[in-house]
Chain A
Amino acid sequence: MKPIIIDRLSISFGPIRVLHDVSFDVTAGECFGLVGESGSGKSTILRCASMLTDIWDGTVRIGEHDVRKMPVAERCRTVQMVFQDPYGSLHPRHSIRTALDEGLRINGFDDREARLAQAMRDVGLPVEFLDRYPHQLSGGQRQRVAIARALILEPDVLFLDEPTSALDVSVQAEVLNLLVRLQQEKGFTYLMVSHDLAVVDHMCDRFAIMQHGRIVEVLDRDAITGGGATQPYAKQLIDASLEYERAI
C-alpha cells in the first residue's frame, strides 16, 4: 500500500492552462474520488501522475518516490490505469492473451501462464477467454480485461478514469463491486475519476471537487448526504446530483 501526494501540479497545452496548482493527498489503501464537470482536468491529472505526459510542473510522489525520478520498470509496477472507454483501450487486433502477456514479458515476470490464468480468475472471467479477441467480448467483459491488464503487473496504485461510465447500469454495479473486492483483497490505493456522485458514494472514502482545473474542495463521503460542503460550487454540484437522483 502506497500513498499518493500531489503537490502544485500545473500543466498548460499551448497558451491554455489546464491545471492550476492542484494539490491533494491520498492515504495508502484509500479510494479517493475526483469529481467535476467535463473538461475540468480530471483525466489530465491521471495522465500527468502516470507520466503519460511529462510536460507538467509540480511534484507527484507515490510511496517514497517522485514519479519523475522512478525508472520506467518500477513505475509500471507501481501505477496502472483503467481507461474510460473499454472499446478504445484494448488493441483490436490483439487477443486477450497478447494484451495481458505483453506487460508480463516487458517486465520479465516468470510463470506467465499461471499469472494469466490467475488474473482472469481475479476479474471473474473464464480462462478460455484468453484466446478471444476484444470484438468477441461485451463491454463489461472488456472492462474486466482492462482491469486484469492493470492488476497483472501487481501495482500498488490504480488510477481509474471513469471505469464504468461507458457501461450500462447493471454492468456498472458488477464492475464497481469487482473493484471494491479487488481493493479489499490486494490493498490497492485507488484514485478514481467519476462524474457520478452515486458511484463516489459507493466507492470512495474521500473525494475532491474540481472546476476549471482547480480543486474546489476536498470532502468526506458523508458530505454527500450530510451537507458538509462549504464552497458554493461544491454545494451546487452535490445538490444538483441529489435532486437528479430523487427525480429517478
Chain B
Amino acid sequence: MSMTRDIPAPVPRRRMPQSLIAARNIVAFLTRSPTSLFGLVVLALLILVALFAPLIATHDPYAQNLQATLQPPSGTHFFGTDELGRDIFSRLVHGSRITLTIISLVTVVVGPLGLFFGTVAGYFGGKVDTVLMRITDIFLSFPSLILSLAFVAALGPSLNNAIIAIALTAWPPIARLARAETLTFRQADYIAAARLQGASSARIIWKSIVPMCLPSVTIRLTLNMATVILTAAGLGFLGLGAQPPLPEWGAMIATGRRYMIDSWWLVTFPGIAILCVSLAFNLLGDGLRDALDPKQMNKR
C-alpha cells in the first residue's frame, strides 16, 4: 500500500499539461496553413490593438477639430479625418474594443445556451426533445437580421441591445448542431457505462456529452463570428446598434457614406477592418475544422 501512495502524487501537475499540449498542437497545426495563419494573426492583432488602444491611437477618438474636417490620409492622420475632424485611425483602433466586446459577449451567451439546449434535447429525446427543438425552430424561422431589428426596435437602439439581439438569433444553429452530435453517441457504450456507475443525467451531459460536442461547436462558433460581426455592423449602419459618438465600425460607414464620393477614406478603412476580421474568423474556422478532426487530435 505504501507504493500506491507514492506513485499517483503528480496527478494535478500532470493533468494541466495535457490540455496545454493539445492547445499548443492545435495552434501549431493552424500556423502550418497560410489561410488559418492569416486568421490567427488578424485575431491576435485585433486583441492586441483592443488591449493597447490608448497607446496605439494617435488622437483622442472623440476629439473634434472643425478646422480639419474630411482631411485625406496623411502623416498626421494616417487614415484621414471624418466630417467632424476626428482621426479615423484612432477611431478604428478604439472601435476594435467594441468589436471584441460584441464577439466575446455573443460567444459567452451563445455557446453555453446552444450547448445546453442541444445536449439536453439530444440526450433525453422524446417530449423534452420535441419541446426544445420547436422553440429552436421558432427562432430559426426568422431571418436573423429581421429578428434583431424587431428586438432592437422594441427595446430601443443601443450596443447592449444589439448584442442581446444578435445572441438571440445566433444560438439556434449551435443547438441544432449539438443535438445532432449528441444523437450520434448517446447510445454509445461509454454512456451506458457512466449510467451503470450511477452518474446522474446532468453529470453525464456535462462530463461525457459536452466534451464530445465541444470541437464541432467551437468550429461552428468561430465560423458564426463572421456573421455576427456583419450583423453588428449592419445594425450599427442602420443606427440601431452602437450610438454616436461611439466609434463602432458599422456606424462609421453609415455616417461616412454621405461624403463617400469625395472622401473615399471615410468608408474604405472601416470597411476593410470589417472585411479583415470577418474573413479571419471564416479562415480560422476552416482551419479549426481540420485541426480538431478526431484523427488529428489522436496524434497528439
Contact = CB atoms under 8 A, between A and B. Distances in A.
B212 to A, nearest CB: 7
A127 B190 contact: no
Interface in B185-206: 188-190, 192-199, 203
B4 A118 contact: yes
Contacts of A52: 192, 195-196
A153 B5 CA distance: 20
A90 interface: yes
Contacts of A83: 189, 192-193
A63 to B, nearest CB: 17
Contact of A80 (B188, B190, B196): B196
Given A113-B4, A113-B8, A116-B8, A88 B188 contact: yes
Interface string A181-225: 000000000000000000000000000000000000000000000
B188 A127 contact: no
Given A90-B190, A127-B4, A135-B298, A76 B197 contact: yes
A39 interface: no
Contact of B189 (A73, A85, A116, A130): A85
Contacts of A80: 196
A107 interface: yes
Contacts of B245: none
Indicate the size class of the contact surface on chain A: 35 or more
Nearest to B203: A106
Contacts of B212: 92-93
Contacts of B7: 117, 127-128
Interface in B1-18: 1, 3-5, 7-8, 11, 14-15, 18
Contacts of A92: 212, 294
A97 interface: yes
Nearest to B197: A103
A93 B211 contact: yes
A114 B196 CA distance: 22
Contacts of B14: 131
Contacts of A94: 207-208, 211
Given A76-B198, A93-B212, A88 B8 contact: no
Contacts of B11: 97, 113, 131
A128 B14 CA distance: 12
A52 B1 CA distance: 35
Most buried by A among B3, B15, B196, B208: B196
Most buried by B among A79, A84, A113, A128: A113
A97 B7 CA distance: 13
Nearest to B214: A93
Interface string A52-85: 1000000000000000000011011001110111
Interface string A88-132: 111111110100001100110000011011100000000110110
Interface string B167-188: 0000000000000000000001
Given A95-B18, A116-B8, 7 more contacts: A76-B198, A83-B189, A91-B190, A97-B11, A103-B198, A117-B7, A131-B14
24 contacts: A47-B192, A73-B198, A76-B197, A79-B196, A81-B193, A85-B189, A88-B188, A88-B189, A89-B193, A90-B190, A92-B212, A95-B18, A102-B199, A103-B198, A106-B197, A107-B197, A107-B198, A113-B4, A113-B8, A113-B11, A116-B8, A131-B11, A149-B197, A153-B197
